[in-house]
C-alpha cells in the first residue's frame, strides 16, 4: 500500500495541476556537456524505483487562478527565525506571518532545536498558525555528517555523512537502515521538508571546502550518486517528507564556498554533473530542486551572474532541457555569493524573474523578525510596476500548491487528529 501511495505522490508532484484558491491542503547555515548514453540511461532506469505514468497535459496548467496576488506571493517566501518557543519574538513573528499568508514556510536551524518535546511543540504551533491556509513547509538541512540540525547533542539520532553511507552500505541498505530512520525522525517531529539529498559529484575532492572536504557527496560517479540519492528520496517519500535535490548545476566542482563569496565552477565543471538531475526529472523522481549560487557561463544570463539569478539556468536548462516540472527553490539568499555582489532588492527580483518558485532566506545576517514582510512588499511592488510579470507568480503558485496538496495534506491531517 505504501509503495502505491508513493507512486501516486511522485506523479502529482511533477504534474502542473490546476489549483484553486480554496485548496487547503549556528550554527552556520551550510547548504543552503555530454548527455547520458543509452547504456547509462538504462542502468539508471533500473536503479530508479519511482516510474509513474505520464504527467497531466501541459494545457491544464494555464487555467485561470482565482487566488489573490498577495496569497500567491506569500507561498513563494520561506524564512528562518530566532527562538525555540511561542514566547520568543521570532516565533511569534513567523506565526503571525503564516496566519496572514505572508509566508508559505519556514526553515529551522540548530538554534531553533533543543529537544524532542520542544521541537514538536514548535512545529505544532507553526502548523496551527497557518490553519485555514495551505499547510506550511517546515524545513531543515538534514543530510547527515556535518550538515544536520537534529543530532545527538540536541536529543536526536545523528546520521552518517553521504560519503560514509556510500562506503559502508548498499543503496538499498541505505534506504532501509539509514534514511528510513532519518525520515521517520523528521516526520515524527513535524518537519515536512528536508533540504537533501546532495547530488553534487565529488569532482574536486578535498580541494572543495564545502562539498568534498566535509564528505557531503556520495562519490564522483553519477550512477552511484543517483542510486543513493534515490534511496534518500524514497525513504522520505514513504513518510511524506518532501526532498530537495541540490545544488544545481553542481557544487562538487567548485574550489570555493558560495557561503563566503562568488563561486566560479567553470574551470572544473563537467556535464556529467547534470546526469542526476536529468534522471530525476525523467522519472519525476524528486519534488524540489535547489539551485546553487554558482557561476558558469553556460548557465548565466550575464558576466558574474550565478545560476540562482539566471533564467538560462532555470528556465532553459533545468526546465526545458532537463524536463524538471517540480518546485525550484533558491539556496539561502543571504549567502556571501549573493549578499556581497548584489543589492537585496535586485537579487530578490532577479531570483523571481529567473524562475525560482520559492525564495529561501535563513535570516541569520541581522535576524530581522520583519524580513518576510519586507520581501513580500518588494515582490508585490515589482509585480505592480511590471518588473516581474504576474504570470511568473502564478506559475510558481501552481507548482507549490500542487506539491503541497499531494505531499502535505495527508501529513497535516494525521498530526491534527
379 with 352: CB under 8 angstroms?
yes
Q: How would you label 176-208 residue by residue, b for 16+ Cβ within 10 Å and e otherwise?
A: eebbbebbbbbbebbbbbbbbbbbbbbbbeeeb
Closest to 294 (Cα-Cα) out of 115, 79, 32 = 32
Long-range pairs for 296-303: beta carbons < 8 A, 24 or more residues apart: 296/249, 296/264, 296/265, 296/266, 296/269, 297/266, 298/33, 298/249, 298/266, 299/249, 301/354
Between the two ends of the chain, the Cα-to-Cα distance in Å is 21
Q: Are 121 and 87 in contact (CB under 8 A)?
A: no
Please indicate whether residue 331 is annotated as part of the active site.
yes
Chain centroid to Cα 254, Å, comes to 20
Active site residue 259: yes
The residue from 259, 293, 296, 376 that is catalytic is: 259
Cα–Cα distance, 57 to 16 (Å, whole number): 8
CA distance linking residue 414 with residue 190, whole number of Å: 11
Angle at 237 between CA 29 and CA 32, to 5 degrees: 15
At residue 143, the 3 state secondary structure works out as strand
**Does residue 266 sit in helix, strand or coil?**
coil
User: What does the DSSP 8-state code read for residue 317?
Assistant: I
Cα–Cα distance between 322 and 314 in angstroms, integer? 10
Catalytic residue among 234, 284, 331, 357: 331
Q: How many residues does the chain have?
A: 417
**What CA dihedral angle connects 180, 186, 192 and 198, to 10 degrees?**
-60
**CA 373 to CA 350: how far, in whole Å?**
18
Q: What residue has cell string 532577479?
A: 350
* Strand arrangement of the beta sheet that strand 137-140 belongs to: 327-330, 288-291, 242-248, 193-194, 137-140, 105-107, 77-79, 359-361
Residues assigned a catalytic role? 259, 331
Amino acid at each position: 500500500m505504501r509503495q502505491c501511495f508513493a507512486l501516486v505522490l511522485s506523479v502529482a508532484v511533477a504534474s502542473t495541476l490546476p489549483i484553486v484558491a480554496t485548496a487547503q491542503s549556528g550554527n552556520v547555515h551550510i547548504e543552503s556537456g555530454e548527455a547520458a548514453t543509452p547504456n547509462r540511461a538504462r542502468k539508471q532506469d533500473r536503479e530508479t524505483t519511482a516510474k509513474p505514468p505520464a504527467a497531466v497535459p501541459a494545457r491544464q496548467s494555464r487555467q485561470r487562478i482565482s487566488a489573490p496576488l498577495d496569497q500567491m506571493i506569500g507561498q513563494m517566501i520561506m524564512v528562518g527565525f530566532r527562538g525555540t518557543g511561542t514566547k520568543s519574538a521570532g516565533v511569534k513573528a513567523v506565526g503571525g506571518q503564516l496566519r496572514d499568508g505572508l509566508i508559505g514556510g519556514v526553515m529551522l536551524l540548530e538554534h531553533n532545536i533543543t529537544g524532542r518535546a520542544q521541537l514538536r511543540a514548535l512545529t505544532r504551533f507553526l502548523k496551527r498558525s497557518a490553519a485555514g491556509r495551505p499547510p506550511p513547509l517546515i524545513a531543515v538541512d538534514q543530510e547527515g555528517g556535518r550538515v544536520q540540525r537534529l543530532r545527538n547533542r540536541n536529543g536526536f539520532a545523528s546520521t552518517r555523512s553521504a560519503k560514509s553511507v556510500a562506503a559502508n552500505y548498499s543503496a538499498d541498505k541505505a534506504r532501509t537502515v539509514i534514511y528510513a530512520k532519518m525520515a521517520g525522525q523528521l516526520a515524527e517531529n513535524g518537519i515536512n521538508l528536508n533540504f537533501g539529498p546532495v547530488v553534487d559529484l565529488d569532482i574536486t575532492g578535498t580541494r572543495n571546502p564545502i562539498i568534498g572536504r566535509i564528505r557531503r557527496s556520495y562519490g564522483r560517479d553519477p550512477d552511484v550518486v543517483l542510486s543513493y540519492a534515490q534511496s534518500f528520496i524514497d525513504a522520505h517519500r514513504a513518510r511524506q517528507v518532501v526532498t530537495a535535490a541540490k545544488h544545481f548545476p553542481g557544487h562538487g566542482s567548485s574550489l570555493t564556498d558560495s557561503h563566503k563569496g562568488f563561486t566560479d565552477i567553470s574551470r572544473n565543471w563537467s556535464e556529467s554533473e547534470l546526469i542526476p538531475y536529468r534522471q530525476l526529472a525523467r522519472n519525476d523522481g524528486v519534488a524540489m530542486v535547489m539551485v546553487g549560487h554558482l557561476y558558469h557561463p553556460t548557465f548565466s544570463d550575464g558576466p558574474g551572474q550565478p545560476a540562482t539569478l539566471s533564467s538560462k539556468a532555470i528556465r532553459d536548462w533545468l526546465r526545458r532541457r532537463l524536463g524538471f516540472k517540480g518546485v525550484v527553490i533558491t539556496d539561502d539568499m543571504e549567502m556571501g555569493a549573493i549578499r556581497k555582489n548584489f543589492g537585496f532588492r535586485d537579487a530578490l527580483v532577479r531570483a523571481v524573474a529567473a524562475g525560482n518558485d520559492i525564495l529561501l532566506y535563513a535570516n541569520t545576517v541581522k535576524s530581522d523578525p520583519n524580513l518576510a514582510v519586507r520581501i513580500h512588499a518588494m515582490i508585490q511592488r515589482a509585480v505592480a510596476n511590471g518588473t516581474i510579470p504576474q504570470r511568473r507568480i502564478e506559475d510558481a503558485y501552481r507548482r507549490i500548491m500542487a506539491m503541497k496538496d499531494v505531499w502535505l495534506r495527508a501529513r497535516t491531517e494525521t498530526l491534527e487528529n
